[in-house]
Structure 1
Amino acid sequence: MAKKEKQMKQYDAKKHIKMTGSDRVMNGGFYLFITLFSIICLIPFLLVLGSSFTAERALTQNGYNIWPSEFSLDAYKLVFVSGDIPQAYLITVGTTIVGTFFSMVFTCGAAYAMSVKNFKSRGVLALFIYFTMLFNGGLVANYLLTTKFLHLQNNILVLLLPSFCNAWNILLMRNFFNGIPASLAESAKIDGANDITILIKIIIPISLPGIATIGLFYALTYWNEWYKCLLYIDSSHSQYYTLQYLIQQILRQVNYAANQPAEAVGLNSLTLPTYAYRMATIIVAIGPIILLYPFLQKYFVQGLTVGSVKG
């Protein structure tokens, strides 16, 4: 008891350590630098946001501004004029949620198996996973495997299955699990818990920072997916297009129309919001991820050191 009281007193003493004048100046300099750096990082986003609500004529004449010189929703009307946008949003959100969930299930399972000391094949499994980071069959082999053998062409599963597991994320998660004291699992085994129970009730609850970090990596991968649509989904199955790929196609059409003579498209070239449309597509594409990040921030900051423990 006396030892605990001594530790508490030492902790309180550390909290009340007086700062010298040079320490205050240094801390003030650090805070000022971080504030200025944050503002510099925020300005491009504000420029994009303001320009997306600016009329094309004002944007052409005055350039990009944080505050719209002439407010207009033409760019967003052009984005959502296609009836495929809501469907693409649904596909993207669905694949992101489902894909991230199953990716984390496989990743946590494989990582935990390699972190268990008495699992004899954990070294072989780690080597097998690491081997896939060094060598792969290439684009042609992957395309033939996906289309000829797995028959996933023009199938929504092609947006999920190839990305279920990432070798790098599995190894990062394993290193995070290696940093958890083995005594926790040993105590649970003495009480009769099996490995699945230990993983679900002990390891995962205390690994939320690492899980949130790796989960965010997977979510960003699924959210930004467009390349698989280009390779495996034909225009006849456009209902499976992701948001990123659909916006890319619309942007190509807008740029093509803007480069044609006004008489060819039946519009004055200044009325077609090409520049504002580009800004609007950025906001539409990154909006949900920006809204998601604040909820994961407290876990993400703690999980920045994921994988730093030597395993």
Structure 2
Amino acid sequence: MSDTHLTELERLAALRRDGALTEEEFQREKARLLHDGLPPVRPAPETAPVRRRRGSFFGFLFSLFFIALILIAIWLFVKGRDIDTPAAPDSDTMSASISTSAPAATVTTLSPDQQLRKASEAAFKGQTTLRASENVTYTPKHLIAAPFGPVLISEGKVDNPGHASAGKIAVHYLKPEGDHFTVTKAFLPALESGSFGAVAGTQIRSEFASNPTLETDGGGTWQGYTCSWTTLTELTPDGPVARATVPMVYSNSGATDANPVTIEGKITKIVANASFDVTYGGTRSFVDHYVRKGETYVLDTGRASTMETC
């Protein structure tokens, strides 16, 4: 066998290994080379493309596998995010959560005006005009946060009053209960002062005692003479206690043109539960010193004040 035949035979064997020739085609070529009698056989035209299609098929499978891995990785990442992120509650769940966690509104959380209205509703049940020997219409003025609980102060005005009719002060001790007040003690009236059926005014003082003190101003004018006085009432846990009534204003200027007298006083130098002064000025200037004796305040001189009265 010549070198040419060997070379050709090796080429055919290589083509068979590569899949370009079938076994039958290889044997025919081999026989032809050995016998030099058969016509040469060339690889079928479709043989080479078959190899390329096989390579393309494996590449396609690899691409699908790679894409599948990417999709799985994305799915695992998203699932992990869903586990870490709490689910948003639906509206019913959210409403239930709000209703159970939000504190219930109470009367003490309302605005001062709303609390005063609630206190008045508890004290008067919507009927602020009370009828006894006189018809009195009460107006709530102060809602006090006393150490023992809320206290409502109301000023009462007499309907169709006479000259000598005094104004009234109502005091109600209250207790907060949920969204409203209840009355624990009522003092109606707790005190009377003023003239023509009304008091001149009220205010709450904290300097006189550990409990709040109600300062009530009363007065009037009679035949040209004007007088006023102040009553100090301590609001104790057991009820209102009158501590002192002191003259504050005197004037006869409406009754005489000859040497009119006008004197006005002011409470000063307060020592809680012990003493206070009333400093007067005007036509005359002097000081009255009051000291605590038991339940009330009295002048330290043991005598009545030199202040003129009507």
TM bucket, shorter chain: under 0.3
Q: Based on CA coordinates, which of the two structures has the bigger radius of gyration?
A: 2
Q: Which is helix-richer, 1 or 2? A: 1
Structure of higher RCO (CA pairs closer than 8 Å, 6+ residues apart): 1
| TM-score, normalised via structure 2 length | 0.19
